[in-house]
Protein backbone atom coordinates (compact mmCIF):
# COMPACT_ATOMS: atom_id res chain seq x y z
CA UNK A 1 0.00 0.00 0.00
CA UNK A 2 1.48 3.27 -1.00
CA UNK A 3 1.38 5.92 1.66
CA UNK A 4 0.84 8.71 -0.82
CA UNK A 5 -2.36 7.28 -2.16
CA UNK A 6 -3.92 6.39 1.16
CA UNK A 7 -3.13 9.65 2.89
CA UNK A 8 -4.08 12.06 0.13
CA UNK A 9 -5.85 15.34 0.69
CA UNK A 10 -9.15 13.96 -0.61
CA UNK A 11 -8.92 11.09 1.83
CA UNK A 12 -8.80 13.49 4.75
CA UNK A 13 -10.93 16.26 3.24
CA UNK A 14 -14.07 15.60 5.33
CA UNK A 15 -12.01 15.52 8.52
CA UNK A 16 -10.11 18.69 7.61
CA UNK A 17 -13.40 20.44 6.86
CA UNK A 18 -14.80 19.37 10.21
CA UNK A 19 -11.69 20.51 12.08
CA UNK A 20 -11.80 23.84 10.23
CA UNK A 21 -15.36 24.46 11.43
CA UNK A 22 -14.62 23.26 14.95
CA UNK A 23 -11.66 25.65 15.08
CA UNK A 24 -14.03 28.61 14.93
CA UNK A 25 -15.58 27.74 18.29
CA UNK A 26 -14.22 28.35 21.80
CA UNK A 27 -12.20 25.49 23.19
CA UNK A 28 -14.79 24.64 25.86
CA UNK A 29 -17.43 23.99 23.24
CA UNK A 30 -15.26 22.19 20.73
CA UNK A 31 -16.06 18.63 21.80
CA UNK A 32 -19.79 19.40 21.54
CA UNK A 33 -19.45 20.99 18.11
CA UNK A 34 -17.29 18.08 17.02
CA UNK A 35 -20.00 15.54 17.86
CA UNK A 36 -22.86 17.70 16.62
CA UNK A 37 -21.08 18.09 13.30
CA UNK A 38 -20.65 14.34 13.00
CA UNK A 39 -24.33 13.81 13.74
CA UNK A 40 -25.36 16.53 11.30
CA UNK A 41 -23.15 15.06 8.61
CA UNK A 42 -24.69 11.59 9.06
CA UNK A 43 -28.22 12.98 9.10
CA UNK A 44 -27.62 15.11 6.00
CA UNK A 45 -25.78 12.53 3.97
CA UNK A 46 -28.08 9.65 4.80
CA UNK A 47 -31.20 11.80 4.72
CA UNK A 48 -30.35 12.76 1.16
CA UNK A 49 -29.31 9.20 0.44
CA UNK A 50 -32.73 8.07 1.66
CA UNK A 51 -34.46 10.69 -0.51
CA UNK A 52 -32.63 9.59 -3.61
CA UNK A 53 -33.02 5.93 -2.73
CA UNK A 54 -36.77 6.39 -2.97
CA UNK A 55 -36.58 7.94 -6.41
CA UNK A 56 -33.97 5.40 -7.53
CA UNK A 57 -36.23 2.63 -6.28
CA UNK A 58 -39.22 3.94 -8.18
CA UNK A 59 -37.24 4.55 -11.34
CA UNK A 60 -35.45 1.23 -11.25
CA UNK A 61 -38.56 -0.77 -10.42
CA UNK A 62 -40.24 0.92 -13.35
CA UNK A 63 -37.41 0.09 -15.71
CA UNK A 64 -37.30 -3.50 -14.46
CA UNK A 65 -40.95 -3.75 -15.47
CA UNK A 66 -40.67 -1.83 -18.75
CA UNK A 67 -42.23 1.33 -17.41
CA UNK A 68 -40.91 4.86 -17.28
CA UNK A 69 -41.17 5.71 -13.60
CA UNK A 70 -41.66 9.19 -12.17
CA UNK A 71 -40.37 11.76 -14.63
CA UNK A 72 -42.70 14.71 -14.15
CA UNK A 73 -41.56 16.72 -11.18
CA UNK A 74 -39.22 19.54 -12.06
CA UNK A 75 -38.56 22.85 -10.39
CA UNK A 76 -41.27 25.27 -9.24
CA UNK A 77 -40.42 28.25 -11.46
CA UNK A 78 -38.66 26.53 -14.33
CA UNK A 79 -41.42 24.58 -15.92
CA UNK A 80 -39.39 23.60 -18.95
CA UNK A 81 -36.72 21.91 -16.82
CA UNK A 82 -37.84 18.36 -16.10
CA UNK A 83 -34.60 17.03 -14.56
CA UNK A 84 -35.79 13.45 -15.27
CA UNK A 85 -38.11 13.74 -12.26
CA UNK A 86 -35.20 13.82 -9.83
CA UNK A 87 -36.92 16.33 -7.56
CA UNK A 88 -39.67 13.81 -6.86
CA UNK A 89 -38.50 12.99 -3.29
CA UNK A 90 -38.85 16.63 -2.28
CA UNK A 91 -42.35 16.74 -3.68
CA UNK A 92 -43.09 13.54 -1.74
CA UNK A 93 -41.71 15.07 1.44
CA UNK A 94 -43.84 18.19 1.07
CA UNK A 95 -46.87 16.02 0.45
CA UNK A 96 -46.18 13.85 3.50
CA UNK A 97 -45.66 16.87 5.75
CA UNK A 98 -48.74 18.74 4.62
CA UNK A 99 -51.05 15.75 4.88
CA UNK A 100 -53.48 15.52 7.76
CA UNK A 101 -52.15 13.55 10.70
CA UNK A 102 -54.98 11.28 11.75
CA UNK A 103 -54.88 9.59 15.14
CA UNK A 104 -57.72 7.15 15.87
CA UNK A 105 -59.89 8.23 18.81
CA UNK A 106 -59.39 4.94 20.66
CA UNK A 107 -55.69 4.68 19.92
CA UNK A 108 -53.14 4.76 22.70
CA UNK A 109 -52.12 8.37 22.08
CA UNK A 110 -48.67 8.11 23.66
CA UNK A 111 -47.57 4.87 22.03
CA UNK A 112 -49.09 5.85 18.71
CA UNK A 113 -46.99 8.99 18.74
CA UNK A 114 -43.88 7.36 20.18
CA UNK A 115 -43.61 4.46 17.73
CA UNK A 116 -42.43 6.39 14.63
CA UNK A 117 -40.08 8.51 16.75
CA UNK A 118 -38.49 5.48 18.37
CA UNK A 119 -38.15 3.56 15.13
CA UNK A 120 -36.37 6.40 13.33
CA UNK A 121 -34.14 7.19 16.29
CA UNK A 122 -33.00 3.60 16.69
CA UNK A 123 -32.60 2.91 13.01
CA UNK A 124 -30.17 5.83 12.85
CA UNK A 125 -28.03 4.51 15.70
CA UNK A 126 -26.48 1.83 13.53
CA UNK A 127 -24.68 4.40 11.41
CA UNK A 128 -22.54 5.42 14.36
CA UNK A 129 -20.16 2.48 14.09
CA UNK A 130 -19.86 2.06 10.34
CA UNK A 131 -16.44 2.95 8.95
CA UNK A 132 -17.31 5.13 5.98
CA UNK A 133 -13.70 5.64 5.07
CA UNK A 134 -10.17 5.03 6.20
CA UNK A 135 -10.40 7.86 8.71
CA UNK A 136 -14.16 8.35 8.76
CA UNK A 137 -15.73 6.42 11.56
CA UNK A 138 -18.13 8.33 13.81
CA UNK A 139 -17.60 6.26 16.97
CA UNK A 140 -14.82 3.72 17.38
CA UNK A 141 -16.20 1.02 19.62
CA UNK A 142 -14.49 -2.15 20.69
CA UNK A 143 -17.77 -4.08 20.46
CA UNK A 144 -19.11 -2.28 17.40
CA UNK A 145 -20.83 -5.29 15.84
CA UNK A 146 -22.61 -6.06 19.08
CA UNK A 147 -23.63 -2.40 19.36
CA UNK A 148 -24.99 -2.47 15.82
CA UNK A 149 -27.25 -5.43 16.48
CA UNK A 150 -28.28 -4.11 19.88
CA UNK A 151 -29.38 -0.84 18.29
CA UNK A 152 -31.32 -2.72 15.66
CA UNK A 153 -33.39 -4.74 18.13
CA UNK A 154 -35.23 -1.69 19.42
CA UNK A 155 -37.03 -1.32 16.10
CA UNK A 156 -38.99 -4.47 16.95
CA UNK A 157 -40.25 -2.73 20.03
CA UNK A 158 -41.34 0.25 17.94
CA UNK A 159 -43.25 -2.01 15.57
CA UNK A 160 -45.03 -3.57 18.51
CA UNK A 161 -45.84 -0.10 19.87
CA UNK A 162 -47.26 0.92 16.51
CA UNK A 163 -49.36 -2.20 16.19
CA UNK A 164 -50.69 -2.21 19.71
CA UNK A 165 -51.04 1.54 20.04
CA UNK A 166 -53.27 1.74 16.98
CA UNK A 167 -56.01 -0.37 18.62
CA UNK A 168 -56.76 -2.00 15.33
CA UNK A 169 -56.94 -5.73 14.84
CA UNK A 170 -55.11 -5.59 11.53
CA UNK A 171 -52.37 -3.53 13.07
CA UNK A 172 -51.93 -5.82 16.04
CA UNK A 173 -51.99 -9.02 14.00
CA UNK A 174 -49.54 -7.57 11.51
CA UNK A 175 -47.28 -6.36 14.29
CA UNK A 176 -47.20 -9.85 15.80
CA UNK A 177 -46.40 -11.26 12.39
CA UNK A 178 -43.69 -8.68 11.92
CA UNK A 179 -42.18 -9.57 15.28
CA UNK A 180 -42.22 -13.27 14.45
CA UNK A 181 -40.39 -12.47 11.25
CA UNK A 182 -37.85 -10.12 12.79
CA UNK A 183 -37.04 -12.50 15.63
CA UNK A 184 -36.74 -15.42 13.21
CA UNK A 185 -34.28 -13.61 10.99
CA UNK A 186 -32.24 -11.94 13.69
CA UNK A 187 -30.62 -15.30 14.39
CA UNK A 188 -29.32 -16.03 10.87
CA UNK A 189 -28.33 -12.39 10.50
CA UNK A 190 -26.12 -12.47 13.57
CA UNK A 191 -24.92 -16.01 12.85
CA UNK A 192 -23.83 -14.96 9.37
CA UNK A 193 -21.60 -12.24 10.81
CA UNK A 194 -20.12 -14.38 13.59
CA UNK A 195 -17.74 -16.32 11.24
CA UNK A 196 -16.10 -13.03 10.28
CA UNK A 197 -15.66 -12.16 13.94
CA UNK A 198 -14.20 -15.62 14.46
CA UNK A 199 -11.66 -15.29 11.65
CA UNK A 200 -10.64 -11.70 12.24
CA UNK A 201 -10.75 -12.06 16.01
CA UNK A 202 -12.35 -8.69 16.61
CA UNK A 203 -15.76 -7.10 17.02
CA UNK A 204 -14.58 -3.70 15.88
CA UNK A 205 -15.83 -2.68 12.45
CA UNK A 206 -12.69 -0.66 11.85
CA UNK A 207 -10.43 -3.65 12.38
CA UNK A 208 -12.66 -5.91 10.28
CA UNK A 209 -12.42 -3.47 7.39
CA UNK A 210 -8.66 -3.20 7.86
CA UNK A 211 -8.30 -6.99 7.94
CA UNK A 212 -9.60 -7.18 4.37
CA UNK A 213 -6.87 -4.96 2.96
CA UNK A 214 -4.26 -6.07 0.46
CA UNK A 215 -4.41 -7.77 -2.91
CA UNK A 216 -3.06 -10.87 -4.56
CA UNK A 217 -1.08 -9.72 -7.59
CA UNK A 218 -2.56 -6.26 -7.07
CA UNK A 219 -5.95 -7.12 -8.53
CA UNK A 220 -7.57 -9.83 -6.41
CA UNK A 221 -8.82 -8.22 -3.18
CA UNK A 222 -8.72 -10.13 0.08
CA UNK A 223 -12.36 -9.50 0.86
CA UNK A 224 -14.21 -12.02 2.94
CA UNK A 225 -16.78 -12.55 0.26
CA UNK A 226 -14.07 -14.18 -1.87
CA UNK A 227 -13.67 -17.11 0.49
CA UNK A 228 -16.07 -20.08 0.61
CA UNK A 229 -17.28 -19.34 4.12
CA UNK A 230 -17.44 -15.61 3.39
CA UNK A 231 -19.49 -16.13 0.27
CA UNK A 232 -21.94 -18.39 2.06
CA UNK A 233 -22.08 -15.96 4.97
CA UNK A 234 -22.69 -13.08 2.60
CA UNK A 235 -25.59 -14.86 0.93
CA UNK A 236 -27.15 -15.69 4.29
CA UNK A 237 -26.57 -12.12 5.37
CA UNK A 238 -28.28 -10.79 2.24
CA UNK A 239 -31.37 -12.92 2.76
CA UNK A 240 -31.57 -12.12 6.46
CA UNK A 241 -30.97 -8.42 5.83
CA UNK A 242 -33.83 -8.38 3.32
CA UNK A 243 -36.09 -9.93 5.92
CA UNK A 244 -34.87 -7.72 8.76
CA UNK A 245 -35.57 -4.55 6.81
CA UNK A 246 -39.01 -5.70 5.62
CA UNK A 247 -37.99 -5.68 2.00
CA UNK A 248 -39.64 -7.65 -0.73
CA UNK A 249 -39.83 -10.67 -0.97
CA UNK A 250 -40.12 -10.60 2.83
CA UNK A 251 -42.35 -7.53 3.11
CA UNK A 252 -45.12 -9.39 4.90
CA UNK A 253 -45.30 -6.98 7.83
CA UNK A 254 -46.78 -4.25 5.69
CA UNK A 255 -47.99 -6.17 2.62
CA UNK A 256 -50.17 -3.38 1.26
CA UNK A 257 -52.14 -5.67 -0.98
CA UNK A 258 -53.32 -8.11 1.67
CA UNK A 259 -52.87 -6.57 5.10
CA UNK A 260 -53.71 -2.95 4.29
CA UNK A 261 -50.16 -1.99 5.28
CA UNK A 262 -50.16 -3.92 8.54
CA UNK A 263 -48.96 -1.99 11.53
CA UNK A 264 -49.04 1.20 9.45
CA UNK A 265 -52.80 0.99 8.88
CA UNK A 266 -53.65 3.75 11.32
CA UNK A 267 -50.78 6.00 10.38
CA UNK A 268 -50.96 8.85 7.94
CA UNK A 269 -49.02 11.84 6.80
CA UNK A 270 -45.57 12.38 8.15
CA UNK A 271 -45.69 9.58 10.72
CA UNK A 272 -46.26 7.14 7.89
CA UNK A 273 -43.33 8.67 6.06
CA UNK A 274 -41.20 8.29 9.19
CA UNK A 275 -41.78 4.54 9.18
CA UNK A 276 -40.58 4.36 5.62
CA UNK A 277 -37.63 6.55 6.46
CA UNK A 278 -36.71 4.14 9.25
CA UNK A 279 -37.08 1.21 6.89
CA UNK A 280 -34.68 2.74 4.40
CA UNK A 281 -32.27 3.81 7.14
CA UNK A 282 -32.30 0.25 8.44
CA UNK A 283 -31.67 -1.12 4.97
CA UNK A 284 -28.85 1.34 4.36
CA UNK A 285 -27.23 0.61 7.71
CA UNK A 286 -27.48 -3.15 7.16
CA UNK A 287 -26.00 -2.74 3.68
CA UNK A 288 -23.21 -0.72 5.22
CA UNK A 289 -22.54 -3.49 7.72
CA UNK A 290 -22.59 -6.08 4.95
CA UNK A 291 -20.07 -4.04 3.02
CA UNK A 292 -17.86 -3.60 6.05
CA UNK A 293 -17.98 -7.23 7.02
CA UNK A 294 -17.93 -9.03 3.68
CA UNK A 295 -17.22 -6.62 0.83
CA UNK A 296 -14.01 -5.13 2.13
CA UNK A 297 -15.47 -2.00 3.67
CA UNK A 298 -13.88 1.07 2.17
CA UNK A 299 -11.09 -0.92 0.48
CA UNK A 300 -10.61 -0.45 -3.23
CA UNK A 301 -11.07 -3.61 -5.32
CA UNK A 302 -7.72 -3.18 -7.12
CA UNK A 303 -4.44 -1.69 -6.01
CA UNK A 304 -4.25 0.81 -8.87
CA UNK A 305 -7.72 2.18 -7.98
CA UNK A 306 -6.61 3.26 -4.54
CA UNK A 307 -6.22 6.88 -5.61
CA UNK A 308 -10.01 7.22 -5.34
CA UNK A 309 -10.79 8.23 -1.74
CA UNK A 310 -11.97 5.39 0.45
CA UNK A 311 -15.24 7.07 1.43
CA UNK A 312 -16.18 7.23 -2.24
CA UNK A 313 -15.55 3.50 -2.49
CA UNK A 314 -17.79 2.92 0.49
CA UNK A 315 -20.62 5.05 -0.88
CA UNK A 316 -20.25 3.39 -4.26
CA UNK A 317 -20.54 -0.05 -2.75
CA UNK A 318 -23.48 1.14 -0.69
CA UNK A 319 -25.26 2.37 -3.82
CA UNK A 320 -24.48 -0.97 -5.45
CA UNK A 321 -26.02 -2.88 -2.56
CA UNK A 322 -29.14 -0.70 -2.63
CA UNK A 323 -29.50 -1.21 -6.38
CA UNK A 324 -29.18 -4.94 -5.85
CA UNK A 325 -31.91 -4.87 -3.22
CA UNK A 326 -34.15 -2.90 -5.57
CA UNK A 327 -33.42 -5.40 -8.32
CA UNK A 328 -34.47 -8.20 -5.96
CA UNK A 329 -37.63 -6.31 -5.13
CA UNK A 330 -38.45 -5.90 -8.78
CA UNK A 331 -38.02 -9.61 -9.40
CA UNK A 332 -39.31 -11.75 -6.57
CA UNK A 333 -42.78 -12.35 -5.23
CA UNK A 334 -43.80 -12.12 -1.61
CA UNK A 335 -43.48 -15.25 0.52
CA UNK A 336 -46.14 -16.68 2.78
CA UNK A 337 -45.55 -16.48 6.53
CA UNK A 338 -45.03 -20.26 6.87
CA UNK A 339 -42.59 -20.29 3.96
CA UNK A 340 -40.83 -17.37 5.54
CA UNK A 341 -40.27 -18.98 8.93
CA UNK A 342 -39.47 -22.34 7.32
CA UNK A 343 -36.74 -20.72 5.27
CA UNK A 344 -35.27 -19.15 8.39
CA UNK A 345 -35.34 -22.11 10.75
CA UNK A 346 -34.91 -25.05 8.40
CA UNK A 347 -32.46 -23.57 5.97
CA UNK A 348 -30.67 -20.39 7.01
CA UNK A 349 -29.98 -21.19 10.65
CA UNK A 350 -28.51 -24.69 10.05
CA UNK A 351 -26.48 -23.37 7.15
CA UNK A 352 -25.22 -20.43 9.20
CA UNK A 353 -24.22 -22.79 12.04
CA UNK A 354 -22.35 -25.03 9.59
CA UNK A 355 -20.72 -21.96 8.14
CA UNK A 356 -19.51 -21.06 11.61
CA UNK A 357 -17.73 -24.43 11.73
CA UNK A 358 -16.42 -23.75 8.26
CA UNK A 359 -14.92 -20.47 9.41
CA UNK A 360 -13.32 -22.25 12.35
CA UNK A 361 -11.76 -24.72 9.91
CA UNK A 362 -10.52 -21.82 7.80
CA UNK A 363 -9.02 -20.08 10.81
CA UNK A 364 -7.30 -23.27 11.99
CA UNK A 365 -5.82 -24.10 8.58
CA UNK A 366 -4.45 -20.65 7.84
CA UNK A 367 -0.96 -22.14 7.71
CA UNK A 368 -1.68 -24.49 4.80
CA UNK A 369 0.25 -23.54 1.68
CA UNK A 370 0.90 -24.89 -1.80
CA UNK A 371 -1.33 -27.83 -2.76
CA UNK A 372 -2.69 -27.86 0.76
CA UNK A 373 -4.14 -24.40 0.13
CA UNK A 374 -6.15 -25.87 -2.73
CA UNK A 375 -7.34 -28.64 -0.43
CA UNK A 376 -8.30 -25.99 2.11
CA UNK A 377 -10.43 -24.24 -0.49
CA UNK A 378 -12.01 -27.48 -1.67
CA UNK A 379 -12.87 -28.69 1.83
CA UNK A 380 -14.22 -25.30 2.85
CA UNK A 381 -16.35 -25.07 -0.27
CA UNK A 382 -17.65 -28.59 0.24
CA UNK A 383 -18.66 -27.79 3.82
CA UNK A 384 -21.14 -25.19 2.55
CA UNK A 385 -22.11 -26.50 -0.89
CA UNK A 386 -23.09 -30.03 0.10
CA UNK A 387 -25.43 -28.94 2.93
CA UNK A 388 -26.78 -26.23 0.63
CA UNK A 389 -27.89 -28.86 -1.85
CA UNK A 390 -29.21 -31.25 0.78
CA UNK A 391 -31.09 -28.58 2.75
CA UNK A 392 -32.31 -26.99 -0.46
CA UNK A 393 -33.72 -30.28 -1.69
CA UNK A 394 -35.54 -30.75 1.57
CA UNK A 395 -36.84 -27.20 1.53
CA UNK A 396 -38.14 -27.36 -2.00
CA UNK A 397 -39.43 -30.93 -1.85
CA UNK A 398 -42.95 -30.87 -3.22
CA UNK A 399 -42.58 -27.35 -4.53
CA UNK A 400 -39.97 -27.52 -7.23
CA UNK A 401 -39.47 -27.93 -10.09
CA UNK A 402 -42.74 -26.29 -10.81
CA UNK A 403 -44.79 -27.33 -13.79
CA UNK A 404 -47.12 -24.93 -15.48
CA UNK A 405 -50.11 -26.64 -16.96
CA UNK A 406 -51.84 -23.62 -18.45
CA UNK A 407 -49.19 -20.96 -18.76
CA UNK A 408 -46.81 -21.09 -21.66
Angstrom distance (rounded) from CA 198 to CA 358: 10
Does 147 help bind other proteins (rule: CB under 8 A)?
A: yes
Binding of other proteins by 83 (CB under 8 A):
no
**For other proteins, which stretch binds (CB under 8 A), given 19-27, 49-57, 65-73, 373-381?**
65-73
Distances (CA, A) of 308 to 41, 220, 343: 21, 17, 40
Interaction with other proteins in 157-176: which residues (CB under 8 A)? 157, 160-161, 164, 172, 176
How many whole angstroms separate alpha carbon 296 and alpha carbon 276?
A: 28
Work out whether 364 is an interface residue with other proteins (CB under 8 A).
Answer: no
Q: Which of 213, 216, 197 is nearest to 360 (CA)?
A: 197
Q: Which is nearer to other proteins, 273 or 340 (CB)?
A: 340
> Measured from the CB of residue 202, what is the shortest distance to other proteins in angstroms?
7
Q: How far is the CB of 142 from other proteins (least distance, A)?
A: 5
Q: How many residues bind other proteins (CB under 8 A)?
A: 46
- Point out which span in 255-263, 294-302, 354-362, 393-401 binds other proteins (CB under 8 A): 393-401
Using CB under 8 A as the binding rule, the residues of this chain from 217 to 276 that contact other proteins are: none
Is residue 327 close enough to count as binding other proteins by CB under 8 A?
yes
- Distance of alpha carbon 63 from alpha carbon 270, whole angstroms: 28
The residue among 197, 208, 212, 122 whose CA lies nearest residue 161 is 122
Residue 14: closest CA among 51, 40, 49: 40
The region of 36-44, 146-154, 293-301, 312-320 touching other proteins under the rule CB under 8 A is: 146-154
- CA–CA gap between residue 359 and residue 233 (Å, rounded): 10
Q: Is residue 386 near other proteins by the rule CB under 8 A?
A: no
Of the pair 203, 283, the CB lying nearest other proteins is at 203
Q: Which of 41, 93, 179, 363 is the binder for other proteins (CB under 8 A)?
A: 179
Least Cβ distance, residue 9 to other proteins (angstroms): 33
Q: Output the smallest distance, CB 16 to other proteins, in A.
A: 30
Q: Which stretch binds other proteins (CB under 8 A): 21-29, 46-54, 147-155, 268-276?
A: 147-155
Distance CA 285, CA 390 (A): 33
Q: Kindly report the number of other CB atoms within 10 A of residue 324's CB atom.
A: 12
User: Using CA atoms, how far apart are residues 34 and 20, in angstroms rounded to an integer?
Assistant: 10
Give the C-alpha distances (Å, rounded to integers) separating 3 from 6, 218, 242, 249: 5, 15, 38, 45
Residue 385 contacts other proteins per CB under 8 A: no
Q: Residue 48: how many CB atoms within 10 A of its CB?
A: 11
Q: Cβ 193 to other proteins, closest distance in Å?
A: 13
- Per-residue x/- mask for other proteins, residues 192 to 211, rule CB under 8 A? ---------xxxx-------
Region for residue 115 given its phi and psi (left: phi exceeds 0; alpha: psi -120 to 50; beta: otherwise): alpha
Q: Which of these segments, 179-187, 221-229, 285-293, 304-312, binds other proteins (CB under 8 A)?
A: 179-187
In angstroms, give the least distance from the CB of 230 to other proteins. 18
Query: Strand 215-216 and strand 220-221: pairing?
Result: antiparallel
CA distance 185 to 240: 5
Distance (Å, rounded) from C-alpha 129 to C-alpha 219? 28
Q: Quick check: 384 and 228 in contact, CB under 8 A?
A: yes
Interface residues with other proteins (CB under 8 A)?
60, 63-68, 111, 141-143, 146-147, 149-151, 153-154, 156-157, 160-161, 164, 172, 176, 179, 183, 186, 201-204, 327-328, 330-332, 388-389, 391-393, 395-396, 400, 402
Amino acid sequence: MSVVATDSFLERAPLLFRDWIVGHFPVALQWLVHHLLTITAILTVFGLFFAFTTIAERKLLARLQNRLGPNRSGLPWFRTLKLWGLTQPFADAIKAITKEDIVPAVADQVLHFLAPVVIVAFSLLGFAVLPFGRYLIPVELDAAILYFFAAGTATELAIFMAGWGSRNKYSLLAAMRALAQLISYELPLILSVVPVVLVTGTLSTRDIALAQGGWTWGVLPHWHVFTPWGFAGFLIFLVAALAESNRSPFDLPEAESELIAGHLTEYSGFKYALFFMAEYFGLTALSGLGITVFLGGWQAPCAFLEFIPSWLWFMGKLAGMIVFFIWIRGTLLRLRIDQLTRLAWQFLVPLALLNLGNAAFWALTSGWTGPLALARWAISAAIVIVPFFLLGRRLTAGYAPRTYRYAA
